Structure 1
Amino acid sequence: MSPEPRRPPLAAPQQAATPMAFVKAILQAYERRGLAPDQALRTAQITPEDTLDEDKKVTALQFELLSGAAMQELDDEALGWFGRRLPWGSYGMLARASISAPSLGVALKRWCRHHGLIADDITLSLNVQGRHSSITITEHRDLGELREFCLVSVLRNIHGLACWLIDSRLPLQQAAFPLPAPAHAEVYPLLFPGPVVFGAAQAGIHFDARYLEMPLRRDETALKQMLQRALPLTVLQYRRDRLLVQRVRQLLARQPQDTQSAEALAHWLHISPRTLHRQLKDEGATLQALKDEVRRERATELLLRTGRPIKQVAEAAGFRNEKSFMRAFRDWTGQSPAEFRRQAGAG
């Protein structure tokens, strides 16, 4: 993406989490072009001494400023990853080609196809199998020392864009990389919230395919504003998950005994219990209401369509015991489970 150059003061405290390895990858791009990175480093307030410390980290803002300055000075939004430069505005052009898509799936297909037109070193592919989808990277040449930075950046870029297009978090089921775990592996869960796997066959991100059906919630005006500062496109700024209610409902129905508590359910979703409650509130739902809805539907179905004993129905609906099930069912329907079954059978 093409951010506008900015030089805000760095006085506000920020957590320094970006590894120096990524800073040095940008410096390698300068070295390949025979250019000095001095001005870009000054803009980001990173000293030459800082770059010699392998263990030092920089803040997200520092890295944004360094990347933005480098993209302009090198006139390469790929920062040296590919065999040819991607001139300033290349990724903005891809975003404009995707913004008119009717759904996220179509937008991502366009992005993957058009990316191949401007950089043939890699191929991006959108794959869908049932409810599972992935965006994978096929490498067509040795990316050399910039391989890790390239794979991380390309996947972060498309993931951040996807979240922005639908104005929603897009939780990852897995982020995979065909690399041994680097010394700074601890930063990957911050870059790709969810399980991270190293030593995979190819790089890719995996997520629920239902997000692909969601309509885009951005227009040309929003795109112009976004492109003024595109680098901070991260999933972390999206509190809303527009599919969370559906995902919670599905888990409650599929894993009733393993999702009794908010803690257990949050574990399955790879988020904290506090985040789970907050995001459900953002969607106008509560965990208890969703539990009641799913349990009621399951119990009603079993009572009407099977002859299972009440105790088995209670267990299958996710209740710890028959007594709590009977109390809840009476609250829902005004009848006991046995009365409900008899009346339905009589009808």
Structure 2
Amino acid sequence: MGANVVSFGYPSQGATDSEQEDVSMEKTTSSSWAMGIVKSLEMDGLDCQALFKELGLVYADLENPDARFPQDSMTRLWQRAVELSGNPAVGLNMARVVRPASFSVAGYALMSSRTLKEGFERLVRYQRIIADSADLSFRLLPEGYALILTVHGDLLPPTRQSAEASLAFALAFCGWLTGRPLHPRQVLIQGDQPKNVEPYKKFFHAPLTFNAPYDALVFDRADMEAPLPTADEAMAKLHDRFAGEFLARFASNRVTHQARQVLCRLLPQGEPKREAVAQSLHLSQRTLQRRLQEEGTSFQTLLDDTRRELAEQYLAQPQMTLLEIAYLLGFADPSNFFRAFRRWFDETPGEYRVRKAIE
């Protein structure tokens, strides 16, 4: 794997807090999606091997399924592609390289779904496998089903080509799955209306709204709810499992997971303090709290959740006494453990253990 490829793990002890933030919070794109971008640009005559070298990227890393490229590198790639091609609509080229592999395992999960509606719901669930630099949602609006995308930059603001490539690919993929052209009811694009709007009209065959609050494709309900010829329930379940395992590995790089590991290690010594956990992760308390908030939790919530999950595991071990479990969970007073447990499960630890033994 080339040195430019993002790797995940604990920040080095010598790094400053700002440096650690850049490393651990860097947004990335999967090699499979980057490969799709490259193929679409190469079909337009661009020399992506030369572009990768210019941008400090290793072209061979595109063949590494575990590699992830920094979002800012992809932003620079789009910028240079527009400069060299003179084509602001170059993102639409992604429709020319449609294949499930561009969406990684999420693409195969979508392909084996019963309907496009079910497939897009899966795509939303697994979108972070493709890139963690965007928010994706799929919901029913009065005018139809909307696949809504918001691409985020990292240190650099995202290019419009990045979002337009995603919309173009998604629409072309729908046509590939259904075996017929699919025309949206409406297409929303965040960017300004370009001087030459013809490429957009020619490709989307739908009413276009520029300067929109987000990028989106809006589809007829009938198109989204029609059975897919590629549907395969057994394969869908298999791809769900693979995608879940991938996300679990991906989650291990998040601060929430790292902090949980530290909590598990510190709990037998007493209730861990936020300061101690932050020090173990080489972060300031303020940065730790902010990172946890960005991931949808807080230190106190994470501590409570970790204790609850460990309590369930310990109570499944009949040789462990309730007193031992209380101390392993960091409770100096067993009565505090009993109160917390009743709050978690609405029963005492003893009642819980008896009930589980019967079940």
Q: Given the two structures, how large is their TM-score scaled by the length of structure 2?
A: 0.39
Question: Higher helix share goes to which structure?
Answer: 2
